[in-house]
Structures are given as C-alpha cells and as structure tokens.
Amino acid sequence: MKILVTGGAGFIASHVVDAYLDAGHEVTVLDDLSKGKKKNVAPKARLVTMDIRDPNLSTLFAQSGFDIVNHHAAQIDVRRSMQDPFFDASVNILGTLRLLECCRTYGARKFIFASSGGAIYGECEKPAQESDELRPESPYGYSKAGAEIYIQFYGKYYHLPYTLLRYANVYGPRQDALGEAGVISIFIGKLLANEPVTIFGTGRQERDYVSVWDVVAANVAALTKGENGIFNIGTQLPASVNALYDKLAKIHGRNVKPVYAPARPGELERSVLNTAAAQQALGWRSVRSLDQGLEETYRFFLEQKPAPAKA
C-alpha cells in the first residue's frame, strides 16, 4: 500500500514509518521539520518537507495516489495551546481538515488519526472508556476532540473509513528530552546530565505510560482493522510520577532526591485508559511492562549521550 505518514520525522510517527516499511509498504513522510528530525526518517521513506496546512498538499495527493493517511502531525504543547489557541486550532483542526479534503478528493481508502486520551477525558476516577464524556481542560484537548468530530463527519457523509487511536502517555526512544516533552525523557535527560530533577506538585499524580513499541503495533493493526472505530491505546495500569522517578533513578544507579515545585495549573491528578475495545477490535494489547520499557528508553538515551571532550 501507499501510505502517507504526517509528522513522520517525529518521535512516535517515525517508529510507525519504520514498521510500515518493514511490512513492505511504500511510505511518504510529510513533516515541516519544526519539531521532527531528518535523522529519524528511514532512508527507504520519501520525505516531503511541508506544513499540513499548505495549499500545495493537494498536488502531493494528486501525484502520489495514497491508499492510507496516518495523521500524527500536530501542535502538542498544552501550554502553547493556552497561550495561542488560534495557532493550536489552525494546526490541529484546519490542518486535519485539509488532509481530509485531500483524502476525499483523491480517493484515499482510510484515515488513521493519532488522538490524545490523556487530554480529552479529563480526570479519570476509573479507567476511561471510549464512550465516556469528553472533558478537555485545554485548547489542545478541545482541538484533538474537534478533529475527531470532523473525521467522523467525513466518514459518515463522504464514506472515508477511519480509525481513531487515543493515546495514553507515550514514551520511548527518540522522544525529545528538551523543552515540552514527556516526563520520562525529561527525567532521563536530567539524570544523565547530573542535573536536578524537578517534580511539579506532590508527585502522586498518576498516568498511564505506554511504550512507543506498543503504540506502533496499534498503528499496524489499524491498517486493516478497526474501521470507523475509536480506541484507547494504553496499559490500564496507572503509575505515579514519584514511582516513575524511583524506577529511573534505580536504573541510573544513583539515589538522587528530586526537587519538588508547585503544581502546574490545570494538571490532572489521574489519567488512565481502559483498552478493552482495542483488544477486541484490533486484536491489540500492551505487552511491554513499564520496567522493561523504561530500561530500553534509558539505554537509548545513554547511547545518544555525547562522549566527554578529551583534555
């Protein structure tokens, strides 16, 4: 199949690209490289440097004849969405709409969308199910939920099949430890640099941490399964930030106490996803334990660390 992967130079999507190539598909990566890195893109993939909002996107579709669009490109910074909701919506909603229009016009057979389970459900007293009320607490969460609604509209009225994947907190190799990034990559980066690690709030906040390898498996399954469905992709096992740091400090081999700072406004206390629907419809389940995934991720960052300069 001919597959377009947007955001394919980024953390999660570059791994998806690798898996699609390994399965024998022809893959085009669309990325503006504002966050993604060329080094993440496999040599066998075709890289097109373009913003998903670019009007020339239609020319790419007309020339390429994509069978499937896997849409990962997004504005993912929650704090930026609070500061500039217009920009957030222009990327996450209008950019998605441009892709959907191209799919409709040029006959794509399926649209796979990377959504956010953590941002659209709000506080989770119990593992969130796909049928639960959506309670976003940031423009980013609202823009992801809005994109989902437009995708479902195109499915209903233009008969464009789709699969929506609502990710928990994804971590793993290639995640950027600089700036706004996952807490795991930030903690590892600080530990390797022998810098203080800051935990915001009490550290008792719980999250559902899912390995990027498990997320990739869900994207592979979505190529042929889960038509017109919405699926949580997580582990169903919450872990506190404190426990997460303790595990990483143990892997690192240094018992360095973290520094605590005031909680960030609007931060959730608990976010965890029920994955029963994905298990049934996609034949998918998380298989990597948190301990195994953290070990793999730590080893990746350790290998990437520059060697100290010689005197």
Point out the residues that are catalytic. Answer: 140
Reduce the DSSP state of residue 49 to 3 states and report it.
strand
- How far is it, in rounded angstroms, from Cα 82 to Cα 92? 14
Contact between 114 and 168 under an 8 Å Cβ cutoff? The reply is no
* Token pair recorded at residue 256: 């360095």
| Range list of H helices, 77-134 | 78-83, 85-89, 95-106, 117-120
- How far is it, in rounded angstroms, from Cα 21 to Cα 44? 7
* Token pair recorded at residue 107: 């006959």
Between β-strands 198-200 and 46-49, what pairing exists: parallel, antiparallel or unpaired?
unpaired
Half-sphere exposure at residue 153, Cβ-oriented, CA atoms within 13 angstroms? 10
* Token pair recorded at residue 109: 């057979």
